[in-house]
Amino acid sequence: MPEHLITDLQNILGINYVLINEDMIPYLTDWRKKFTGKALAVLLPNSTEEIATIVKTCSKASVSIVPQGGHTGFCGGATPDISGKQVILNLKRMNQVRQIDVENQTITIEAGCILQSVQEIAAQQGFLFPLSLGAEGSCMIGGNLATNAGGTNVLRYGNTRDLCLGLEVVTAQGEIWDGLKGLRKDNTGYDLRGLFIGSEGTLGIITAAVMKLYPLPISQWTTLIAASDIPSTIAILNLFQKRATSLLTGFEMMTHESLKLTVKHFPKMANPLKNDPPFTILVELSDHESEDHVRKLLEDILAQAFDDGLVSDAVIATNLSQANTFWQMREHLTLAQAQEGANLKHDITIPLSALSAFILETDALVKKHYPGARILNFGHLGDGNLHYNIAPPEGVDYLAFNMNNEKAIHDLIYEQVEHFGGSISAEHGIGQLKLADLRNHKGAVAHELMKAIKQALDPKNTLNPNKVVSI
Ligand code: FAD
Ligand code: 2HG
Ligand code: ZN
């Protein structure tokens, strides 16, 4: 690294926006406190042109760049390695709304906009920006795009990729690609936008995006439903899909074990359903027409589910505040697990038709090989997405348990995922956490294609090296 790199960067950004020494500390450790790295500097640019100049400067000095948004990712993608030779490029100052196009129903936003503020700005204009996840108060739209985040509205509106119409990206060579057209159809060759979405900062730096907006629903009804097993849970999902079709906007599953841990850390999050059922399902219906219609539909579907013997108890939220409490129960699962200790996360998808067998077999294997280990299984069941997390037996130290068992537990669960035709990452991505697992999972051909793409777009390995794929 040339001696004068820091001075060059200070000349580009101004001295206040090149953090060094202890000022870097908040940027070096991820949300879960699982990964801590070192860095030469943390850079805080506020324009696309500044980012382009930084990339050219760093590339010339052979210094690699770790893009960072809200640093809430679960796979260590935004955390630098321990060499101390990388720079972090945090996009939080790139937080302008560039345009709201009411007729086109789009919003053009910079990568550092906080997700929740985008939802709020859209709502002020009478629109819904449907991306919604527990970290929305601190994750940023660039991070959401770079991870192709999912969350709780995917069932109805799709994941971040489905919500994006255009991107502005700084390439690994420091060129600016302006792809900010808000077009719903554009078949002009390779899908560059699609390539950068979900690339976790390894192919380009996303600086702005055109995102879809939707009409705000006028009515939402939220209910908690008790189910005794996974087949009933899936039958309930299918019933709602059949009868509520596009009015179904949320279908989340929480197991008894995960809710027990939530109440331990957040006693106010007690389950209003009687007798702590094995499975608690949160269902949300949304309507743009009439309040009465959706309420009646919900009651009818529930009545049918009771008649069919699928449901043993249900509570419909009578007001917004109660609906929010139901959602908070769901969002506090992750917070409670983080308070308890950094457990072993498996963010997986399984085809719904194979889900029951997967859970039955995998639970049995985990219980056999790791007696007493807690299976904290919950997730966006409507998408077949489970968060199949494993915590040590009550009272056993997390660090020691993870150190002894992490690889074997990941292997066991990922083998099961392969066997049942699933994916080892539904929504959190690969980062550094699953780098080694990806090759097995994708197979040699797909993995080589991914490496060829990285090699073609970033031959000097300037952007987020050793995340997703190594070249
Ligand atoms: P970061 O963590 O800062 O970065 C993530 C990756 O993107 C890194 O590889 C980074 O290098 C890259 N990156 C960041 N910004 C850019 C950019 N501008 N250009 C190029 N690359 C970039 N995720 C879900 O999908 N669904 C959930 O339901 C969900 N719930 C969560 C709940 C909680 C409580 C927490 C803490 C996290 C949750 N997450 C969830 C994970 C996380 O919030 C998402 O992955 C989110 O999209 C990350 O955004 P971020 O801004 O924090 O990105
Ligand atoms: C969620 O769905 C997040 O709440 C976090 O994706 C999942 O804590 C987890 O493993
Ligand atoms: Zn999730």
335: left (phi over 0), alpha (psi -120 to 50) or beta: alpha
Cβ-Cβ contacts under 8 Å for 432 (sequence gap 6 or more): 35, 75, 76, 77, 79, 81, 466, 467
- What pLDDT was estimated at residue 290? 80
The encoded tokens of residue 417 equal 């995922």
Ligand 1 test: best mutation among 32, 44, 93, 133, most atoms within 8 Å of CB?
A: 133
Comparing C-alpha atoms, which of 333, 408, 417, 334 is closest to residue 366? 408
Match 């979900």 to its residue by tokens. Answer: 198
- Residue ranges, comma separated, of all CATH 3.30.465.10 domains in the chain are 97-215
Expressed in angstroms and rounded, the spacing between residue 386 Cα and the centre of ligand 2 is 9
The whole-number average pLDDT for the span 29-50 is 97
The pLDDT score that the predictor gives to residue 292 is 87
Distance 143 CA to ligand 1 centre (A): 5
> Which residue has a Cα nearest atom 2 of ligand 2?
379
| End-to-end Cα separation, the chain, in angstroms | 21
Distances (CA, A) of 45 to 49, 88, 244: 9, 11, 46
pLDDT at residue number 2: 63
Going from the Cα of 131 to the center of ligand 1, the distance in angstroms, rounded, reads 12
pLDDT at 267: 97
Class of the CATH-defined domain 219-419: alpha beta
Best CA proximity match to 76, nearest among 201, 192, 171, 177: 201
Q: Which helix (H) or strand (E) holds 387?
A: strand 385-391
CB 403 within 8 A of CB 395: no
Residue 3, pLDDT above cutoff 80: no
Instruction: Provide the pLDDT for residue 367.
Output: 98
The number of the ligand nearest the C-alpha atom of 159 reads 1
Inter-residue contact 248 to 241 (CB < 8 Å): yes
Question: Which DSSP letter does residue 140 get?
Answer: B
Query: What kind of architecture, by CATH, is found in domain 97-215?
Result: 2-Layer Sandwich (3.30)
pLDDT band at 430 (very low <50, low <70, confident <90, very high): very high
User: Is any ligand 2 atom within 6 A of the Cβ of residue 345?
Assistant: yes
Q: For the residues 56-61, what does the mean pLDDT come to?
A: 98
Q: Which of 147, 200, 380 gets mutated to test ligand 1 (max ligand atoms within 8 A of its CB)?
A: 147
pLDDT > 90: percent of the chain: 98
pTM: 0.98
Instruction: Output the residue whose Cα is nearest ligand 1's atom 38.
Output: 135
Distance, CA of 364 to CA of 370 (rounded, Å): 10
- Nearest-CA residue for ligand 1 atom 47 is 144
Separation of CA 15 and ligand 2 centre (Å):
38
Q: Does the domain at residues 5-90 carry the CATH identifier 3.30.43.10?
A: yes
Ligand 1 centre distance from Cα of residue 141 (Å): 9
* Atom 22 in ligand 1: residue holding the nearest Cα: 201
For residue 295, the model assigns a pLDDT of 95
User: Which ligand is in closest contact with the Cα of 387?
Assistant: 2
Longest dimension (CA), the chain: 75
State the Cα–Cα distance between residues 197 and 167, nearest whole angstrom. Answer: 9
Pocket of ligand 1 (CB under 6 A): 31, 66-74, 77-78, 91, 111, 133-135, 139-140, 142-144, 146-147, 149-151, 200-201, 205-206, 334, 427-428, 431, 464, 467
User: Which 8-state DSSP code applies to residue 96?
Assistant: -
**Is residue 291 very low, low, confident or very high in pLDDT (cuts 50, 70, 90)?**
confident
- Measured in Å, residue 254 CA sits from the centre of ligand 2 at 11
pLDDT tier for residue 174 given thresholds of 50, 70 and 90: very high
Contact 258, 378 (CB under 8 A): yes
- The alpha carbon of 77 and the centre of ligand 1 are apart by a number of angstroms equal to 8
**Ligand 1 centroid, distance to 92 Cα (angstroms):** 13
Start-end ranges of CATH 3.30.43.10 in the chain?
5-90
Report helix, strand or coil for 331.
Answer: helix
Pairing of strands 313-316, 279-287: unpaired
Between CA 300 and CA 306 the distance in angstroms is: 10
In whole angstroms, give the CA distance from residue 96 to residue 144: 16
Average pLDDT, the chain: 97
DSSP letter at 213? -
